[in-house]
Amino acid sequence: MSDTFEELEVPPDALEQGGIEIVRASIVDGAVSVALRRAFDDPATWGRLFLDLARQAARTYALESEMSEEEAFERIRAGWEAESLDPGNTLN
């Protein structure tokens, strides 16, 4: 890991049309660090956003590795399911 922060570029359509950043995630010392704003009236919209992010991540794996998009998506889904079934990970 680097001592400097490596950020992604702003998506071209957001630069052209404007927008509001709703989530920023980073890896710091091996852990995920997240900043977000509520952004949606209905929390179900986050579910749709997470699914879209999973699809985009799977496409990226397909482009940058030997893994197919379908295999990458299945691995992402399996990770989601394993995390959601973890009894030590509660919403209380």
Q: For residues 55 and 73, what is the distance between their CA atoms, to the nearest angstrom?
A: 7
Q: How do the domains of the chain map onto residue ranges?
A: 12-84
In the three-class reduction of DSSP (H, G, I as helix; E, B as strand; rest coil), residue 69 is classed as: helix
> Domain 12-84: what homologous superfamily?
putative pyruvate dehydrogenase (3.30.2370.10)
Residue 69, exposed/middle/buried by CB under 10 A (0-12, 13-18, 19+)? middle
Of the chain, the percentage scoring pLDDT greater than 90 comes to 84
pTM: 0.82
- pLDDT cut 70: percent of the chain above it: 92
In tens, the pLDDT along 21-62 reads 999 999 999 999 999 999 999 999 999 999 999 999 999 999
For residue 24, the model assigns a pLDDT of: 95
Q: How confident is the model at residue 88 (pLDDT cuts 50, 70, 90)?
A: confident
d(CA 70, CA 58): 7
The token duo for 8 is 């992604």
